[in-house]
A and B are shown apart, each in its own frame.
Chain A
Amino acid sequence: MKNIIHNINKAFDHRIRLGIMSILVVNEFADFKMLKELLGATDGNLASHTKALEKEEYILVEKSFIGRKPNTRYSVTKKGREAFKKHVEAIEKLLKQ
């Protein structure tokens, strides 16, 4: 039991963060607009959550320009993928009990 709780990751303890990770593990990358549309979050809200995940080194942020428009795209890191997998497995184990 202790072990399972240990694997529940505090960094994913929010709907938006959970959503960001879910989207990124099945997509090579996603840009800010796509995340915003899918999650129904405001710019500021989404930005703060991506920043938090970036700080944990769970996601990678690449800033570039498409023409003159700035474009930010996100992808999941190896560390993030493993952490997310552990988190989901922990939830599943908890639910099975």
Chain B
Amino acid sequence: MSTEEYLKDITEIKDMMNKSSRFFSLSGLSGIMAGIYALIGAAIAYYLVSISGRDYLILDGKIFNYILLDLVLVALLSIVTAIILSTQKAKKNNETLWNGTSRRLLTAFLIPLITGGIYIMIKIYSNHYGLTGSLMLIFYGLALVNASKYTIGNVKYLGYIEIVLGLICAIYPGYGFWFWVLGFGVMHIIYGSLIYFKHDR
């Protein structure tokens, strides 16, 4: 066999290892959209708090429920968008959306995320909600780092950034809102664009 053929073999080996263990159809565009939803959601929350006449949030007010709803809507919209756009990308890549790799990706992603979600809810209902922003960033970052083994490897750097933001946020909990905007809004748009330009087209 010639050198060229051996090179082809090595490429084939690498390609098969990657394809069979990582889900590459994660849509970058959905990351950008998630960032935009987060910014809009944050703007609505900011507005709600500012018309309440206080510049902080109390737990048992009507405003708090609206903000919770706002947050749930942002999360829901982001998830739905991610599913739709990743389905399209998968189709383009001749891949199915629901296969071994996407299942593993989702499991790896959801375990830290759901743990964090439940933990945050427990803290909120025992009136410790001052660190919610920080905790969301940290657990989301851990979820990304964990999931990055099963998708585009670069995702782990976004995870690291979220974790660091969450830790800094823990030092300045008063600025939780702005760290949240930075982590979930701005970073998603930046990272989504990176993935979009590198892998989507």
A residues adjacent to B (C-beta < 8 A): 15, 18-19, 22-23, 25-27, 30, 34, 37-39, 88, 91-92, 94-95
Q: Name 5 extra pairs, CB < 8 A, besides A19-B16, A26-B21, A37-B99.
A: A18-B9, A22-B20, A37-B96, A92-B10, A94-B3
- B12 and A19 contacting across the interface, CB-CB below 8 Å: yes
Residue of A nearest to B22 (CB): A26
Q: Closest approach, in angstroms, between the C-beta of A51 and any C-beta of chain B? A: 19
Interface of B is mostly: helix
Q: How many residues of B contact A (CB 8 A)?
A: 17
Complex Cα–Cα for A94 and B9 (A): 12
Complex Cα–Cα for A46 and B10 (A): 20
- A34 and B99 contacting across the interface, CB-CB below 8 Å: yes
Residue of A nearest to B13 (CB): A22
Partner of A88, one of B3, B7, B13, B19: B13
Q: Is B174 an interface residue (CB 8 A)?
A: no
- A91 and B21 contacting across the interface, CB-CB below 8 Å: no
Query: What residues on B are CB-neighbors of A25 within 8 Å?
Result: 17
Complex Cα–Cα for A38 and B17 (A): 10
B residues adjacent to A (C-beta < 8 A): 3, 6-7, 9-10, 12-17, 19-21, 96, 99-100
- A94 and B13 contacting across the interface, CB-CB below 8 Å: no
Partner of A30, one of B10, B12, B15, B20: B20
Q: Closest approach, in angstroms, between the C-beta of A38 and any C-beta of chain B? A: 6
- B10 and A23 contacting across the interface, CB-CB below 8 Å: no
A15 in contact with B12 given A27-B20, A34-B99, A34-B100 (CB within 8 Å): yes
Complex Cα–Cα for A26 and B99 (A): 16
Query: What residues on B are CB-neighbors of A37 within 8 Å?
Result: 96, 99
